[in-house]
Chains A and B, each alone.
Chain A
Amino acid sequence: MLCTKVCNFGAIEKDGDKVKFDLDLCVLCGSCEEVCRDNAIKIERKIIDKEALADYKDVWVWCETSEGRLRGVGLELVTKGRELADKLSENLVAVLIGHEIEAHAETLIHHGADKVYVVDEKIFEHYTTDAYTIALNTLIAPHKPSIVLYGATSNGRDLAPRVAARMALGLTADCTGLAIDDERQLIQTRPAFGGNIMAEIISPYTRPQMATVRPNVFKPDEPDTSRTGDIEKVEMTISPVQVRTRVLESVNETVEGMRSVEEADVIVCSGRGIKDPSNLEMPKKLAELLDGAVGGSRPIIDLGWLPPSQQVGQSGRTVCPKLYIALGISGAIQHLFGMQSSDIIVAINKDPDAPIFSVADFGIVGDIFTVLPEVIEAVEELQAKR
């Protein structure tokens, strides 16, 4: 009986020549239904109104700005969105909300957008849930896009559920894969259970299909400055009364020279093995050489050696840079969850059995205090040669 084998949730048990379902454990994922040779398993689902869904067209991406700057994930979304729109033979529309941000519209077109809506008002200068929800809903409702994507940043994960709930829509969080199937549906792939399994999620009954997308997963294409597109400024009057939260102060904790771990191509991350905060000068030096960010695992963040914004792992940030260097990090599952999709992982640790080595492309078993200075020197030599 295949169904007992494919169940990821331990909800099906053999009972003689029959099977028993534990519906409290079942999440109704349908894996058993798919493999049952006797067609004995049936999950009742809603009926889809295909005609109504066909009214929805175009792929939309919300490209976040922060203090007038376009966040990197915006370009990643435009690149991926272009691919999806091409597959559907539809347009790619980008939405820019903020203050004094119009200049980014052209950049988005160069990266693949056919059209950019620009909502540029003083009230959008700083992110608030209410103002941004109203702006997006006002744009989405009449235009009926088929797909809306958001970057899974702090603000994206705050905004997307609010917009989706206002329209009674489904939303898939933190996608690491997006594709279009034969029925023109968006297949949204995301990790669950601490990265132990991947789930493919669809939104079959409602449009637009909405998802937040993890930053750094999709790489942005090089811009094509010959590309042209439509830029439409949208006037939107939002009264301060409609905005029920007030940002009294915005505190930037990223220390001078300390880049955000979510946006950096290179992360040099330290763990308990670094022993003393004064020893962080070495990883900082290496990060500087590689134009990267300095990160920390949970124990050293808890000790206050680095600000919380630099924590990599399940209770911190999930990152996927091109290069991740783990120094004195053993590799608890919560840490691995936060970094294992990095392109290249390097680990230096004196414990040869540390779990971090099981995901490392290049591991050095040794003392970071003797190895790291040599690495810094070797990098400096290499850079001097170039």
Chain B
Amino acid sequence: MKQVPEVADVQVDEKTGTLIRDGVPSILNPFCEYAVEAAIQLKEKYGGEVTIITMGPPQAKEALLKALAMGGDKAIHMTDRAFAGADTWVTALTLAEQIKKMEFDIVICGKQAIDGDTAQVGPEIAELLSVPQICYVRHLELSEDEKFVIAHRETDEGYDVVRAKIPVLLTATKGLNEPRLPNIMGIMQAKKKPMEEVNAETLGYDVDKLGLKGSPTQVRKVFPPEKKKGGIKIDAEDPKAAARELVEFLAKKGAI
């Protein structure tokens, strides 16, 4: 899972065109909430243990605590300056290196993070773990023998019912479940649950291949988007006249 800024609260400084991030709260990425909820529901139904993993700065611990309060059993916080500046490929590599050290049946990620919107880290982890992937899952069940997952994978036209043998990686999208709100009891217990910190050294990976240095892509420039300006705005006191004016406008623009 990933901690992200509440993107809806991010404002742009009109003068400089830069983002104003002061006072913008950090939240658990909404798509990751579906993933956490799905994992907890699987545990409640079939048993097992839910480990929550994130890579991020020290403050990402808050998001881990939330996932633990929802019902996760333990957390792993991958945090190190050496991880900073990682693109999707190195993020996936770093997370996969950690997951490889653990036993797992199902890895569930959010479809995408609402700050980057790439949807790449999940499939990249699946490839690095050499397991099949089912992306954009909005319904999930296990086969009777509990050896296969059967998932509804969102497509451009609807969904595919896809079956894959465990171990498998899934990415969760809207519709999969209604993430629970942590209750007081959960929040109290979360603080006592095991939280392991992993840095580049404990991960045991060459620091030159991590973070910015290990990233095959590079951000060269960031700039404000071309601001779309509002155009004509009329009052519909006379709906017929307003409608005619609109249709005339569209015809002139060649839009209809």
State whether A194 touches B235 (Cβ < 8 A): no
Tell me if A314 is interfacial: C-beta within 8 Å of chain B: yes
Say whether A194 contacts B218, CB under 8 Å: no
Chain A, 15-55, contact with B by CB distance < 8 Å: what is the 0/1 string? 00000000111111111001000000001111000000000
CA distance A367 to B217 in the complex (A): 49
Query: Any chain B CB within 8 A of the CB of A86?
Result: no
Which of B12, B84, B120, B152 is the one whose CB lies under 8 Å from A196?
B12
* Contact between chains at B231 and A363 (CB < 8 Å): yes
Cβ of B62 under 8 Å from chain A: no
Q: Is there an interface contact between A24 and B59, defined as CB atoms closer than 8 Å?
A: yes
Specify which chain B residues have a CB less than 8 angstroms from the CB of A262 in the assembled complex: 156
* B159 contacts the other chain (CB 8 A): yes
Kindly identify which residue among B18, B89, B242 contacts A366, using a CB–CB cutoff of 8 Å: B242
Task: State whether the Cβ of A365 lies closer than 8 Å to any Cβ in chain B.
Answer: yes
* Contact between chains at B218 and A344 (CB < 8 Å): no
Task: Please tell me if the beta carbons of A359 and B175 are within 8 angstroms of each other in the complex.
Answer: no
The stretch among A6-14, A224-232, A273-281 that forms the contact with chain B is A6-14
CB-defined contacts of B123 to chain A, threshold 8 Å:
129, 158, 161-162, 165
Taking A46-B213, A158-B123, A360-B230 as contacts, is the C-beta distance between A29 and B89 under 8 angstroms?
A: no
CB distance from B154 to the nearest CB of A (A): 6
Contacts A23-B81, A172-B217 given: A154-B228 contact, CB under 8 Å? no
Q: Please give me the residue from chain B that is nearest to A366 by CB atom.
A: B236
Tell me, in angstroms, the Cα distance from A327 to B128 when the chains sit together.
Answer: 45
Contacts A196-B225, A333-B8; is A344 near B253 (CB within 8 Å)? Answer: yes
Whether B217 lies near A170 (C-beta < 8 A) is yes
**B217 near A196: Cβ-Cβ < 8 Å:** no
Residues of B within 8 A of A221 (CB): none
Contact with A along B84-109 (1 / 0, CB 8 A): 11011100100000000000000000
Of residues 312 through 348 on chain A, the ones whose CB sits less than 8 Å from some CB of chain B are 314-315, 322-323, 332-334, 340, 343-346, 348
Inside 8 A of A201's CB, which chain B residues have their CB? 217-220
Q: Which of B16, B116, B247, B253 has the most CB of A within 10 A?
A: B247
Across-interface contacts of B88 in A (CB, < 8 A): 161, 171, 173
Is A307 located at the chain interface by the 8 A CB criterion? yes
Q: Could you tell me if A371 and B239 are in contact, using CB atoms closer than 8 angstroms?
A: yes
Contact A260:B157 (CB < 8 A) given known A371-B242, A382-B251: yes
Q: Mark B1-27, 1 if CB is under 8 A from A, else 0.
A: 000010110101000101111100000
Contact between chains at A199 and B232 (CB < 8 Å): no
List residues of chain A with CB within 8 A of the CB of B12.
196-197
Across-interface contacts of B57 in A (CB, < 8 A): 24-25
Whether, in the assembled complex, B184 has its beta carbon less than 8 Å from a beta carbon of chain A, the answer is no
Are the C-beta atoms of A193 and B213 separated by less than 8 Å? no
- Return chain A residues, CB-CB under 8 Å to B18: 5-8
The interface residues of chain A lying within 8 Å CB-to-CB of B165 are 244
Residue from B117, B120, B133 within 8 A of A129 (CB atoms)? B133
Contact A196 B10 (CB under 8 A): yes
On whether the beta carbons of B244 and A155 are closer than 8 Å, the reply is: no
Contact of A173 among B114, B119, B161 (CB under 8 A): B119
The residue in chain B whose Cβ has the minimal distance to the Cβ of A341 is B228
- Cβ contact within 8 Å between B250 and A173: no
Cβ contacts A to B, 30 pairs, < 8 Å: A25-B57, A28-B212, A29-B220, A30-B219, A31-B221, A45-B213, A126-B160, A161-B88, A162-B123, A187-B220, A193-B19, A197-B224, A200-B221, A200-B223, A201-B217, A202-B220, A203-B216, A245-B132, A246-B162, A250-B160, A309-B156, A315-B30, A359-B230, A360-B231, A362-B249, A363-B234, A364-B236, A366-B242, A374-B239, A382-B247
The 8 closest A-B CB pairs, nearest first, are A366-B236, A170-B216, A253-B158, A374-B243, A170-B217, A28-B85, A173-B118, A24-B57
Knowing that A201-B220, A371-B239 are A-B contacts, what are 13 other residue pairs whose CB atoms are under 8 Å apart, sorted by A's residue number?
A24-B59, A161-B119, A162-B123, A170-B216, A193-B7, A193-B115, A202-B220, A245-B163, A249-B160, A358-B230, A363-B232, A365-B233, A366-B237
Q: Give me the interface of B with A, judged by CB distance under 8 Å.
A: 5, 7-8, 10, 12, 16, 18-22, 30, 57-59, 81, 84-85, 87-89, 92, 114-124, 126-128, 131-136, 138, 150, 152, 154-165, 174-175, 212-213, 215-225, 228-237, 239-240, 242-244, 246-247, 249-251, 253, 255-256
What residues of chain A have their CB less than 8 Å away from a CB belonging to chain B? 5-10, 23-31, 34, 43-46, 66, 126, 129-130, 133, 153-155, 157-158, 160-162, 164-166, 168-174, 187, 191-206, 244-254, 260, 262, 266, 290, 307-309, 314-315, 322-323, 332-334, 340, 343-346, 348, 352, 357-367, 370-371, 374-375, 377-379, 382
